[in-house]
A and B are shown apart, each in its own frame.
Chain A
C-alpha cells in the first residue's frame, strides 16, 4: 500500500495535533509553576515495537527532544524480559530513573500503552519536571552531591495507574519521600489526564483513516523526515569539524570538564564523536546517555527548525556512545546538572563545530546556562520555611543577520523568568537591581546580546544560597573572529564582605543573614565576525545607550575615542 502525499500531510498534522493537545492539557491543569508556567514538560507518541519517536508536541521543552524514546524503549525491553510487569489497558507507568533513558530525577515520566483491538498500537508518554523528588536539597539541584541517592527518590518503571485507577500504595510511598507532597496530586492527575486526552484524540484519527493507513503513514513519514534531515545536512560539506566546550567544574572538584567534539559530515549523514572528553566526575555534572543524545538533537533542531521532530529526523545523526566519559554516566554517578547545564554545553559544542560550515544558520555561543540560584530558609513574618528559585537568561550569540538577543532563555528551555514583584511577594527578599549587564555582549561584527545583572538582599530570617550555573570560567565563545561574551559572575556579601564562590558558578549552602546580598551577572553572548568590521554607527549607538562605555568601545571594537566621547555625551 502506498499513501498519497496529501493524506500523509494530513495524518502528520493530525499526529502533531494529538501531541500539542496533550501539551496544552498538561500545562493548563498542572499545579507546579515549573510545568504550568515554565512548560517544563513534553508529550509524545512512541512506537510499540522499539519506542522510537513518532510525534512530539511542538510546545515541549526543547531539552526533551527525543529523550522519551529512550525511556520508552527501555520500558518495552524490560517488559519483554519480564523485569517489569506487563501492561493491561488503562495502566500508566511512572519512572524517573536517569539510567533507564532519562534526564535527572526531577523529570518524571508517565508512559501509557495505547491499545487497538487488544494489541498495543503505540505508547503515549509524557515528562513533567516535578518541583521536588526528595534528596539532600529542596528542588534536587544539589551542587555537591556525589551519588544519585543524595539527589532524590529514584523510581523504576512501576504501574502507578492500574486499569485506570491510581495505586494509592505506590503513591503514598512517593509522597512520603518528597517535599510539599500535598500539592503533587494535582500534577499527577494532570499528567495522567494529558495521556488520556491524547488517547482519545489518537483514537479518533485511527477511526477516521484506518489503523493500517496510519501505521503505513507513520513509517512513510519517518522515512521522509530522514530524507529531509539528510537534505539539510548536505548543506554541510563533507569533512570533520571539531570544537571544544567547557563546564566550569562539577561542583565538587574544582577543575573544568572538557567536551571534545568531532563531527564528521559525509553525504548527508553526521557522526558525533565525543572521544577525549573528560572522565565521569564526582559532582552532579554528569550526563546520562539519553540526555547527551537529546542535546545533540536539540542543537540540530535549533539549526534546522523546519524538520519535524521524529525518529526519522534523527536517523542521519549518529552519536557514538561516549563510553568512559562524563557524557555517558552510569549508576550511581550524580546527574542533576545534566539537563540544565551539561546539555547546553553539548549544544554549544555542536554550534561551535558547525558555525564555519553553516555561517548563515548557526550563531555564536549563547549564554547557555539556566542560571539556577536557589535560596532556602525561614521567613519569620510568615512563620514558614521557603525555597526560592531565581532562574535567569543571558545574551545570545551574534549571527549572520543581527546582534544577539539580550536576556534570552536557556538554549534548552522556553520558559519565562518570574517577575521581581512576584518574587518579593512570596519570599523575604528585596531586589536592588534587575538590569541589563552593561559591557557583557561579546564584541563582533554582530555583537553578542547582553546578560542580566541582578542583586538581591535577604530582608529577614535566615537563608542559605546555592548556585548551579555555568560559564563562570570562560565566557560563551565568539565565532568567525568574534570575541567571547563576558563570563558569569557571582558575588555574595556576608556582613559587608564580598565572597566569590570557589567554583565561581556553583556553590552550595552559603549562609546569609538579613542585610546580606547576592549579586549575579549572567553571561553575554559570543560575538560574530570581527569586531573591527562592525558598523561604527552601531558602536556609537551602543555607547549612546550606555551598553558599553567609550573605553570599552575603543578596546573591544577599536572605535575612535573622540567619536565615542561624542556619542556618550
Chain B
C-alpha cells in the first residue's frame, strides 16, 4: 500500500540559514569521498583521498583542500564516519564499566546461547565489556515494573568508585526490566552524574526501551564504549573546520539515514555504527525517487564486501534488529543493509568434489587479488574481470607494476582451467557465472526475507564493482532493469548531501486489538510527532518540508514475529488496523488466518525534514558532455561475453545526456566500469543516470 506522508509547513525551520552550499563527506574503510554541491553556482566538485585511519579528520580536511572548498562560504557540512564502526569491529573501544542488577553481570558474556556457525563446534566470543569491569548492585524490579528490591545507593556509589579506580572512561547502567520502569536507572544516573567525571553515562533504557536484556545491554554497552571516541573525534573535527572558517554546525550521518548535529551525536553514538552503508542507500532512494524508479534493490559491491538493501516506494527498509557481527546486536532503528559477500576479492577455487566455488574466502585488501600486485596468488573475481576485458587492462599498469595480464592468465589456467578442463578465459568466465549466481541468490534471499519479489524491483548498482556485475545479476533474478547512478563510487558521500533530518520513534503497546483503546495509539502518534518536530527545529538547518511516516508492528496472537504495517495517517480505526494487517500478512506469506485474532505490538513514527532538492545532473559536468555518442567513444577491445566480442568502450563523462547505447558495450568512468550485455539497451535520463533495460539475449 502507499504511504502518503503528511506535509506540514516548515515554519519552525524557515528561519534557519540557507543551505545552498553543501559538502557531503563520507569516510569509508579505504577512501574518504567528498561531494561539494553549490546550488547557486550550479556546480559540483568531487574529491577522493585515502582514509587516514588514525585520525579521520586529516582525510576530511584533505578532501576539502583537494576540492578547493571555501569553508567560510559553506552552509552545511554533513559527515559520514566509520569511527564507531571500526572501534566496534576492531574492539578498540574505550575502557567502559557496567553496573547492573545483582546476579546478572554475565548477561553480556553469555549472550543468547548460540554459536558462530551452525556447523563446526569452534568459535570464540569477546564481550564488549570484560568481566572485571562488570559490577553488580542490589536492586530488582518485577516484570511489571514494580519494585522487588530497592536500589542500594551506597553499593552503587561504591561500584562507581571501583570502576573509576580501574580507569573506566565511560559507564553503562543496565538494570533488569528498566523498560517497564526506569526509576532505578534514572536514580542511579543522578547519583552517577554527581560522581562520574564526564558525560559518558549511558542508561540501558535510554536508547532502546524494549525487553530483552542481552540485546538492550549490548546496545547500551556499545553506545558507552564508543561515545568518548566519537565525542573527541567530532569535537576536534568541528574545531578544525571552524579554524578554517566554517561557521555552522557539522551534521553527522546516523545509521537510520538521517543526520544529527555533531553537538548531540555522541549521546546516542551507537546510532552512527553503519552510517556509511546507510547513507549510500539514502542516496539510492533519493536518486530512484527523482528517476521515478522508487522500488529498488541496492547492490553495492566493493573490493572487500557486497551490501544489499531494499527500497520500497523510495523509503529504505529499516530494521531495529541489526547484528553487526556474531552476537553483537545493535537494536536501534537503522537502514537494513545486509552484507552478502566478500566483493571483488572473493577467491575462486576447486573443491574436493571438483566443483568451482567462489567465496566465501576473500583475499581482502592484503594481499588482495592477484592484480593488486601485493603478492596475492589466489584467483579472485576482480582478476576474472580483468582477464575477460570487462575491466580495462590498462588499469592494471596503474595499480601494479609487478603483475602482468599474462601472470594472471597463467594462474587461472593452472589453478582453475586445468582441473575444469578449459582455458584460462573460460575459467574466468565460469568464475563470474558462479559468482553472479551466488550473488543473485543472496540478493533474492534479502528480498524474499523482506517479503518482496525481486522481479518487482530495479537493481541500483553502485560501489566500484557493482556496475560490472549488475546486468548479469539482474538477469539471474528476473529483474527487468538496472540503474547506474552518475557516480557509483561516491554514493555514500552523495548520501550525506541529500540526507534528510530524521528521527525515529518506537513505543511498545502490546495489546490484542480486541482490548485496545485506539485513543492510546492516536495519543502516541501525536507525542512522537511533536517530539520529532521539536528535535528537527533545534537542528538549525533549513528544510523544505516536514513529513511523518506512520506504521504499526502487528502479529497474530501467539506469534513471535512482527509484521510492519504502514499506515496512511495517524488516526487509524481498529477496523482499519485489522484489515491492513490481514492484507499485509497475505501479501507477505500467502496465508489467510481468519481463525486467529491480531495484536498490536509497536507504534512507530518517523519524522523527516526534507532539505531542498539537489540537481543530480551536475554530478557529471554538463560542459564536458559531447553532442554525439560517437564522440564519447574511446576505442574498443575484446571483451568476453559468451566468447570474445570486439566491444566499443565509452567514457561516461562524455556521453550526451540523451545517449542510447545498445550492448555489447562498456562504459568507463573514474570510479567504476559498467558492462552492458549483448541485447541490452542503456539510456541516460535527465539526472545522468544510466538505465539499462535487459534484453532477452546473452
Instruction: Tell me which of B106, B215, B438 contacts A13 (CB under 8 A).
Output: B438
Q: Which residue of B lies closest to A453 (CB)?
A: B106
Residues of chain B contacted by A420 (CB below 8 angstroms): 104, 107, 176, 213
Residues of A contacting B430 with CB < 8 Å?
Answer: 5-6
Contacts A193-B590, A420-B213 given; does A185 touch B595 at CB 8 Å: yes
In contact, A24 and B110 (Cβ under 8 angstroms) = no
Query: Measured between C-beta atoms, what is the minimum distance from B356 to chain A in Å?
Result: 5
B107 and chain A: residue at smallest CB distance: A434
Are B121 and A431 within 8 A (Cβ)?
A: no
A1-30 interface (Cβ within 8 A of B): 5-6, 8-10, 12-14, 16-17, 20-21, 24-25, 28-30
Q: Does A5 lie within 8 Å of B119, measured CB to CB? A: no
Contact indicator B560/A224 (Cβ below 8 Å): no
- Is there an interface contact between B556 and A424, defined as CB atoms closer than 8 Å? no
Instruction: State how many residues of chain A have any CB contact under 8 Å with chain B.
Output: 84
Residues of chain B contacted by A228 (CB below 8 angstroms) = 351-353
Contact call A422/B558, Cβ cutoff below 8 A: no
A106 to B438, CA, bound (A): 35
Q: Name B115's closest neighbour in chain A (CB-CB).
A: A408
Given A227-B354, A416-B112, A422-B211: A9 in contact with B121 (beta carbons within 8 A): no
B591 proximal to A (CB < 8 A): yes
**A122 within 8 Å of B (CB atoms):** no
Q: List, in ascending order, chain A residues with CB within 8 A of B560's CB.
A: 33, 36-37
Q: How would residues 101 to 131 of chain B score, 1 for a CB under 8 Å from any chain A CB and 0 otherwise?
A: 0011111011111111111111111000011
Chain B residues contacting A307 (CB-CB under 8 Å) are 353
B132 proximal to A (CB < 8 A) = yes
B596 x A183 contact (CB < 8 A): yes
Q: How far is the CB of A92 from chain B (nearest CB, A)?
A: 14
B31 at the A interface (CB under 8 A): no
Residue B292 lies at the interface, judged by CB distance under 8 Å to chain A: no
Of all chain A residues, the one with the shortest Cβ separation from B118 is A414
> A463 in the interface, Cβ–Cβ < 8 Å?
no
- Is A49 an interface residue when CB atoms closer than 8 A count as contact? no
Select which of B103, B449, B558 is within 8 A of A431 by beta carbon: B103
A97 and B462 CA atoms in complex are apart in Å by 52
* Complex-state Cα separation, A212 to B113, whole angstroms: 45
Q: Closest CB of chain B to A112's CB: distance in Å?
A: 16
Pair B595/A182 contact, Cβ less than 8 Å: yes
A547–B130 Cα distance when bound, in Å, is 12
**Do A421 and B213 touch (CB < 8 A)?**
yes
Q: How far is the CB of A269 from chain B (nearest CB, A)?
A: 15
Instruction: Answer whether A545 and B130 are a contact pair too, CB < 8 Å, given A36-B559, A434-B103, A435-B103.
Output: yes
Q: A397 at the A/B interface (Cβ < 8 Å)?
A: yes
Q: Which residue from B118, B356, B591 sits with its C-beta under 8 Å from A62?
A: B118
Chain B residues, CB < 8 A from A545: 130-132
Residue among A33, A301, A420 with the highest chain B CB neighbour number at 10 A? A420
In the bound complex, how far is the Cα of B107 from the Cα of A62, in angstroms?
A: 26
Do the beta carbons of B357 and A9 come within 8 Å of each other? yes
* Contacts known (A6-B434, A59-B118, A227-B353); A425 close to B211, Cβ less than 8 A: yes
Asked if residues A409 and B211 are in contact (CB atoms below 8 Å), the reply is: no
Given the contacts A6-B430, A36-B559, A302-B120, A419 and B214 also touching, CB distance less than 8 Å = yes
Q: Which single member of B116, B122, B561 contacts A363 (CB below 8 Å)? A: B122
Report whether B105 and A435 are in contact in the complex, using a CB–CB cutoff of 8 Å: yes
Chain A residues within 8 Å of B132, by CB: 544-546
The answer to the question of B411 belonging to the interface, with a C-beta cut-off of 8 Å to chain A, is no
| Chain B nearest Cβ from A485, distance in angstroms | 13
Q: Is the CB of B589 within 8 A of A29?
A: yes
Q: How long is the Cα–Cα vector from A334 to B596 in the complex, in angstroms?
A: 34
Inter-chain CA distance A392–B111, complex, in Å, is 11
Q: Which of B113, B441, B445 contacts A409 (CB 8 A)?
A: B113
Does B637 belong to the interface (CB within 8 Å)? no
Q: What are the residues of chain A within 8 A of B176 when measuring CB–CB?
A: 420-421
Give the residue name and chain of the B residue nearest to A542 (CB): B131
Q: Does B212 contact A (CB under 8 A)?
A: yes
Q: In the bound complex, do residue A406 and residue B353 qualify as a contact, i.e. CB atoms below 8 Å apart? A: no
In the assembled complex, A31 has its CB within 8 A of some CB on chain B: yes
Q: Say whether A547 contacts B211, CB under 8 Å.
A: no
Is B593 part of the contact surface with A, judged by Cβ < 8 Å? yes
B residues in contact with A189, CB < 8 Å: 591, 593
Measured between beta carbons, the chain A residues less than 8 angstroms from B588 are: 28
Establish whether residues B212 and A422, one from each chain, have CB atoms under 8 Å apart when the complex forms.
Answer: yes
CB of A411 closer than 8 Å to a CB of B? yes
A6 touches B420 (CB 8 A): yes
- The answer to whether the Cβ of A186 comes within 8 Å of any Cβ in the partner chain is yes
Distance between A376 CB and nearest chain B CB, rounded to angstroms: 18
Question: What are the residues of chain A within 8 A of B131 when measuring CB–CB?
Answer: 436, 545-547
Contact with A along B267-292 (1 / 0, CB 8 A): 00000000000000000000000000
Is A407 an interface residue, CB under 8 A from the partner? yes
B593 touches A186 (CB 8 A): yes
Output the nearest chain A residue to B357 by Cβ-Cβ distance.
Answer: A9
User: How far, in whole Å, are A419 and B444 apart by their CA atoms in the complex?
Assistant: 31
Contact B590 A434 (CB under 8 A): no
> With an 8 A cutoff between CB atoms, is B355 at the interface?
yes
Contact of B114 among A9, A10, A183, A409 (CB under 8 A): A409
The answer for the CA separation of A186 and B355 in the assembled complex, in Å, is 41
Contact (Cβ within 8 A) B121 A407: no
Which residues of chain B come closer than 8 Å to A422, judged between CB atoms?
211-212
> Which B residues are in CB contact (< 8 Å) with A17?
441, 444-445
Is B433 an interface residue, CB under 8 A from the partner?
yes
Q: What is the chain A residue whose CB lies nearest that of B119?
A: A305
Q: In this complex, what residue of A is CB-closest to B419?
A: A5
**Which of chain B's residues has its CB closest to A228's CB?**
B353
Report if A432 contacts B (CB, 8 A). yes
Choice from B109, B558, B559 contacting A436 with Cβ under 8 Å: B109
- Interface-centre pick from B104, B116, B215 (highest chain A CB count, 10 A): B104
Least CB distance, A392 to chain B, in whole angstroms:
6
Given A25, A185, A421, A436, which contacts B593 in the complex, CB threshold below 8 Å? A185
Is A302's CB under 8 angstroms from B449's CB? no
Residues of B123-177 whose CB lies within 8 A of A: 123-125, 130-132, 140, 142-143, 148, 176-177
A417 at the interface (CB under 8 A from B): yes
Among A394-446, those with CB < 8 Å from B are: 396-397, 399, 401-403, 405-409, 411, 414-417, 419-422, 424-425, 430-436
Q: In the complex, which residues of chain B have a beta carbon less than 8 angstroms from the beta carbon of A29?
A: 589, 591
A111: interface (CB < 8 Å): no
Contacting A at CB under 8 A, from B555-603, are 556-561, 588-591, 593, 595-596
Q: How far is the CA of A136 from the CA of B107 in the complex (A)?
A: 35
- For A409, the chain B residues whose CB sits under 8 A away are 113-115
- When chains A and B are docked, how far (Å) is the Cα of A392 from the Cα of B104? 16
Nearest CB of chain A from residue B439's CB, rounded to whole Å:
11
- Say whether, besides A5-B420, A185-B596, A425-B143, A417 and B448 are in contact (CB < 8 Å): no
Q: Which residues of B contact A20 (CB under 8 A)?
A: 445
Check B305 for interface membership: any CB of A closer than 8 A.
no
Q: A24 touching B445 by the CB < 8 A rule?
A: yes
> B437 at interface (Cβ–Cβ under 8 A)?
yes
**In the complex, A228 Cα to B350 Cα: how many Å?**
11
Shortest Cβ distance from B122 into A: residue: A399
Interface residues of B in 427-445 (CB under 8 A from A): 430, 433-434, 437-438, 441, 444-445
For the complex, give the distance between the alpha carbons of A402 and B120 in Å: 13
Interface membership of A245, Cβ < 8 A? no
A-B contact pairs, 23 of them (CB 8 A): A9-B356, A17-B441, A24-B448, A25-B589, A33-B560, A183-B558, A183-B596, A193-B589, A351-B121, A366-B121, A392-B113, A396-B122, A396-B123, A401-B122, A405-B116, A406-B109, A409-B113, A419-B215, A421-B179, A425-B211, A430-B140, A434-B106, A435-B110
The 3 A-B residue pairs with the shortest CB-CB distance in the complex, in nearest-first order: A393-B113, A433-B103, A228-B353
Other than the given A424-B142, A434-B104, 5 more pairs (CB < 8 A) read A17-B441, A20-B445, A305-B119, A421-B211, A425-B143
Binding site for A on B (CB under 8 A): 103-107, 109-125, 130-132, 140, 142-143, 148, 176-177, 179, 211-215, 351-357, 420, 430, 433-434, 437-438, 441, 444-445, 448-449, 556-561, 588-591, 593, 595-596
